[in-house]
Amino acid sequence: MSNRIATSTLFGFDFQINAAIVIMLENIEDVDTIRMEGKEDIEILLNDGNYILAQAKSVVQSSKDFTNVITNLKKAMKSLSEASAGLMIKELIYITNSTNPFHVKSEKHIFEGLPTHRNYDNLLPQSQKKIDEIISNLTTSIDKSKLWIQTLPFETDDKRERYKYIWNIIEELLNKLRIVGISKESLHQIWCQEIFRSGTIGEQGIKLTKADIIWPIIVMSTYHENYDDYDLDEAEVEEATRLYQSIINTYTERYEFLTKVLYAFNDFLKDKTIKERIPKFVSEKYLDFLYIMDETNINDHLKEIIIKTILTNILTKRSHIKRIKEQVNL
């Protein structure tokens, strides 16, 4: 029993993270911040001050175990009604992996197969009735015009099967950004393991900004190793590569650092060509940005090489970075 509970808990947390990724990407242009385990399982603050609140409930054997789907639905409606009080709400979402979230056999077919998005008005009669009955017993009202039932197929221990629809929506984003050379699987892994599991954890859970979320895309699409111009042995090249990746992945003000670099470059030697400006900027200004390596315990020569490589990659891909920022409204 304890093993089943532990498995269910881990599965549930994995589903919650992936549900957050999906809802975030569906609203990426409007997202300001996303918080997990705050007022709700998933709490998204939009640029206009409105909120999207979501309750994520999963079932390990979602295509055949419907034992607790009504219990899950009741908990979700109660939580959404209480959390939405006093907030400007765009959407209230109940997202689940169940193929029969209302335990209504005759209406089960609309939730099977592909991911679904149904607002209250587009639910079939018996499903609406279930919601009406639950809401009638709540002490806090819920705005049904903003209520959405969303299903996300998510089952088995095979990653290809469990994450296939999450990978699809990530691929749609990468295509929209016209990014090649980044695998949807790699980006998904970074978001799950390094971003959503290690965000700013406070009294109200994990909070992430849009910049936190988009940063891995910028890093992965601009990264280029080239130490041929430096007199490094094999061990130093390995160390430089390791530190480069560590710094850009862990420096707490990494997006602010990127902004500072691009802002400084905009006003640097405007009368020169880009081909002339980039190497000159890197050569003359790298000391201004060396502070991001204050915590590294390496010699000054290697520090200089790494920071110059970081600056060169940012500046040579500045148009690419600009397009990403524009597409996601960052």
pLDDT tens sequence across 209-248: 999 889 888 888 887 766 777 777 788 778 777 777 777 6
Q: Which of 278, 267, 328 is nearest to 308 (CA)?
A: 278
pLDDT for the residue 200 = 45
Q: Given strand 116-119, what is the order of strands in its sheet?
A: 116-119, 147-151, 89-96, 51-57, 42-46, 31-36, 205-209, 200-202
Average pLDDT over residues 310-328: 91
pLDDT, one tens digit per residue, over 16-48 is 999 999 999 999 999 999 998 777 899 999 999
The overall average pLDDT reported for the chain is 88
Q: Is the predicted pLDDT of residue 104 greater than 80, yes or no?
A: yes
pLDDT at 122 over 60: yes
Query: Over the stretch 251-274, which tens digit does the pLDDT of each residue have?
Result: 557 788 889 999 999 999 989 999
The pTM is what? 0.88
Three-state DSSP at 251 gives coil
**pLDDT in the model for residue 233:** 74
